[in-house]
């Protein structure tokens, strides 16, 4: 059984973390090309659905998170579970508070345990930054948290930079903003050596959602790319699971060959074939068990590969930028 991924959403207050999470779940609980996200607790489904419908039907923006909450989801294809994930949703204020506060201590611990971090950067703030304005909020605090992560783990994990409110940042400014972040505030993720895996993904709830002329969002919501930041770590974790199973298959094959060679040796001698019948039977039983385990592992690997192919297409979109070890990755060829 695969352990649940631990996805931590990080971002300053006002970057749209809550709206994004509601839109992500709404899009994926309704199914996308056979894939669905479902809460592991049905009461959580009711809560998330009610909050989403309040936005969609009544036009009410959700209030900023005053408390942190953890959610548990399953990612399925055709209602068959592929992988579970835990979603740690923390209020933006934890980035600027001291550890005397309980959920700040919990947040810092979750950073060290995370399988993936999603950093929310507001599109309007990124556009202003490109034009020479202030840097987007939360990036320096993000760097401090990831520095602590690396000291603890000496390892790297997938990082998603979700450009929220992307409708408020023209496409050319998104590209310029990504380049500036690569060279500047987030440059630690793009040096060669540690092999960080980073994706920039613009996400949006729709067009014309801000400004005094539109104080609410009723009738304006049409989410874009909201599922991609979550399927990204699922994709690369599936690849890791495939690699693990292929190594296991190779080990099974080596063990099978050694057992077969021993059985052949025992059967090849006149006296050993007579007096070592129990050892021969034991060896053949062991070979059968190894072959059975190997077939099960091969089946799992094939299922993971099929899921990988289905997810891969979404990660090849032109507005998705993926980097590995400081260099942009083209999933169409890599």
> Does residue 191 carry a pLDDT above 60?
yes
pLDDT at 127: 95
Distance of CA 291 to the CA centre of its chain: 33
Widest distance between CA atoms in the chain = 95
Q: Phi and psi at residue 214, in whole multiples of 5°?
A: -130, 75
pLDDT in tens, 14-64: 888 888 999 999 988 988 888 899 999 999 999 999 998 888 887 777 777
What is the SS3 assignment for 122? strand
Name the region of 3 (left: φ>0; alpha: ψ -120 to 50; beta: rest): beta
Q: How far apart are CA 44 and CA 122, in angstroms?
A: 27
Q: Quick one: pLDDT at residue 138?
A: 92
pLDDT of residue 318: 81
Q: What backbone torsions phi and psi does residue 152 show, to the nearest 5 degrees?
A: -80, -45
Q: Which of the four pLDDT bands, split at 50, 70 and 90, describes residue 322?
A: very high
- For residue 166, what are its two tokens? 């992307």
The domain limits of the chain are 5-235+314-329, 240-310
Q: Does domain 5-235+314-329 have CATH number 3.40.50.720?
A: no
pLDDT of 282 higher than 60 = yes
Residues of 103-131 as b/e, b for ≥16 C-beta within 10 angstroms? Answer: bbebbeebbeebbbbbbbbbbbbbbbbbe
Identify the pLDDT of residue 212. Answer: 47
Q: What is the Cα–Cα distance from 13 to 166, expressed in whole angstroms?
A: 17
Which pairs count as long-range contacts for 133-142, CB under 8 Å and 24+ apart, including other chains? 135/185, 136/12, 136/185, 137/12, 137/13, 137/14, 137/15, 138/10, 138/11, 138/12, 138/15, 138/92, 138/95, 139/181, 139/185, 139/186, 140/185, 141/12, 141/95, 141/96, 142/10, 142/95, 142/186
The model's pTM is 0.83
Q: What's the pLDDT band for 133 if we cut at 50, 70, 90?
A: very high
Distance CA(285)–CA(157), nearest Å, equals: 41
Q: What is the mean pLDDT of the chain?
A: 86
Cα separation, 128 vs 83, whole angstroms: 38
For the beta carbon of residue 6, count every other beta carbon within 10 angstroms: 18
Helix, coil or strand: residue 199: strand
Rounded CA separation 266/276 (Å) = 7
């Amino acid at each position: 059984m695969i352990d649940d991924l631990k996805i931590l959403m990080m971002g300053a207050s006002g970057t749209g973390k809550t709206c994004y999470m509601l839109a992500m779940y709404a899009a994926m609980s309704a199914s996308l090309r056979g894939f669905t996200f479902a809460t592991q607790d049905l009461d959580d489904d009711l809560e998330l659905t009610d909050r989403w419908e309040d936005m969609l039907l009544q036009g009410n923006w959700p209030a900023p998170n005053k408390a942190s909450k953890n959610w548990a989801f399953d990612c399925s294809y055709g209602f068959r579970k592929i992988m579970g994930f835990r979603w740690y949703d923390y209020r933006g204020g934890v980035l600027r508070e001291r550890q005397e506060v309980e959920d700040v201590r919990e947040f810092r611990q979750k950073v060290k345990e995370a399988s993936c971090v999603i950093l929310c950067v507001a599109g309007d703030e990124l556009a202003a930054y490109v034009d020479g304005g202030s840097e987007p909020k939360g990036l320096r605090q993000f760097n401090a948290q990831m520095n602590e992560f690396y000291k603890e783990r000496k390892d790297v994990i997938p990082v998603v930079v979700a450009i929220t409110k992307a409708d408020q940042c023209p496409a050319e400014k998104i590209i310029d903003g990504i380049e500036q972040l690569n060279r500047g505030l987030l440059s630690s993720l793009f040096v060669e050596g540690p092999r960080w895996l980073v994706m920039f993904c613009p996400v949006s709830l729709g067009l014309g959602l801000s400004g005094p002329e539109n104080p609410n969002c009723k009738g304006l919501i049409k989410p874009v790319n909201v599922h991609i930041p979550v399927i990204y770590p699922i994709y690369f974790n599936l690849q890791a699971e495939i690699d693990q199973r292929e190594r296991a298959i190779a080990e099974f094959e080596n063990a099978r060959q050694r057992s077969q060679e021993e059985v052949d040796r025992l059967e090849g001698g006149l006296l050993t074939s007579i007096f070592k019948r129990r050892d021969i039977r034991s060896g053949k039983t062991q070979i059968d068990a190894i072959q059975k385990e190997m077939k099960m592992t091969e089946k799992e690997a094939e299922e993971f590969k099929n899921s990988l192919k289905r997810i891969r297409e979404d990660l090849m979109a032109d507005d998705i930028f993926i980097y590995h070890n400081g260099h942009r990755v083209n999933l169409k060829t890599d």
